[in-house]
Amino acid sequence: MAAVNELSPVVGTQAACEVLGLPRASYYRQQRPAFGPSKKAVSARALSLTERDTVLACLHEERFQDRSPAAVFATLLDEGVYHCSLRTMHRILEQEGETGERRDQLTHPAYQKPELLATAPNQLWRVLPQFPCRFGRSK
């Protein structure tokens, strides 16, 4: 690859690869950056850390403890205060792990297969379904 890099400014990439017997696709594949986790660009409109902390502190105020983000948003708008959108409030709470169902959820017990138990003969009878007989006798 180093030889192709030295020759390509002089004779061109195609000619350098042909002379060295190297496929151009291999050369260009080596030039690409390795795959890895992509770095997300931070939007210019994103909240700064101080603004984010302000919104979180507002959502944690005692008067808003039992209220939804939509109710907090509406109350703040009535007071003439706008920190961020409703969706951003939900997003901040989700990043903090503070979203989810607040009520206790019913958990169903694990299903137990019925157990047939007999301690003596003729205590337990099982009724089999009636299916037409395909083999042997027919009705």
pLDDT value at residue 56: 95
pTM for the complete prediction? 0.50
CB 68 within 8 A of CB 97: no
The total of structural domains in the chain comes to 2
Sign of CA dihedral 83, 87, 93, 94: negative
8 in any annotated domain? yes
Q: What is the pLDDT of residue 100?
A: 80
79 within some domain: yes
Does any domain span residue 57? yes
Q: How far is CA 130 from CA 48, 135, 137, in A?
A: 73, 14, 14
CA distance 127 to 113: 18
% of the chain exceeding 90 in pLDDT: 38
Residue 118 lies in a domain: no
Structural domain harbouring 84: 49-95
Q: Which residue has the tokens 């157990």?
A: 115
Most confident region among 47-51, 117-121, 126-130 by mean pLDDT: 47-51
Q: Which residues are CB-contacts of 124 (< 8 A; sequence separation ≥ 6)? A: 116, 117, 118
Q: Does residue 127 lie within any of the structural domains?
A: no
pLDDT of 139 reads 52
